[in-house]
Amino acid sequence: MAFQILLNFFLAFVWMFLKSSYTPASFFVGYFFGLLIIYVFRRFFDSRFYLVRVNAVAVLFLLFIKELFLANWSVLKLVLRPKLNIKPGIFALPTELKKDWEITVLANLITLTPGTLVVDVSFDNKTLYIHAMDIEDINEAVDSIKNSFEKAIMEVSR
């Protein structure tokens, strides 16, 4: 991916030299043509076309914003309720993510969406221990994290 972005920048600069106009506009035109060429020859590289990954990062960011709003809303409802009727608890989340930064991002996303909080990561990096403010069903909580955040992170790093 890094190679493709570097190549795209390089092509944009070559385009500026060919046109002998060193303006941002000609840089963007060159970048666009470079992007087009790299897209046509995308099977030439070992990794995926890099815009797919850029798109996956954007999807992950939007997902985070959405979850942040929804979770804060649910916490607001819990706080305003006259009777405190919650079941707190700690559960283990087995994760398939391998790299250090993936696990860090997953842990941060879980912590930043209120209601859940990462307490610890096991020594073999395969399990996250999560404190939840209100668990109705452990399997449901595990599934919802797995299907949203873990899937989106995998989409970025694949």
| Shortest distance in whole angstroms from residue 33 CB to another protein | 5
Give 19 or 146: the residue with its C-beta nearer to another protein: 19
Binders of another protein in range 27-56 (CB under 8 A): 28-30, 33-34, 37-38, 40-41, 43-45
Question: Residue 122: what are its φ and ψ, rounded to 5°?
Answer: -70, 165
Binders of another protein in range 76-95 (CB under 8 A): none
Structure tokens at 130: 């999560």
Give the start-end residues of each E strand in 67-132. 89-94, 116-121, 127-132
Q: Which residues pair with 113 in a beta bridge?
A: none
Q: Is 25 in the site for another protein (CB under 8 A)?
A: yes
Give 38 or 107: the residue with its C-beta nearer to another protein: 38
How many angstroms separate the Cα of 108 from the Cα of each of 32, 61, 137, 150? 35, 13, 22, 12
Q: Is 146 in the site for another protein (CB under 8 A)?
A: no
Is 116:133 a contact under the CB 8 Å cutoff? yes
Q: Is 20 in the site for another protein (CB under 8 A)?
A: no
Is 95:126 a contact under the CB 8 Å cutoff? yes
Binding piece for another protein, criterion CB under 8 A, among 17-25, 79-87, 111-119, 128-136: 17-25
Task: Write out the residues near another protein by the rule CB under 8 A.
Answer: 7, 10-11, 14-15, 18-19, 25, 28-30, 33-34, 37-38, 40-41, 43-45
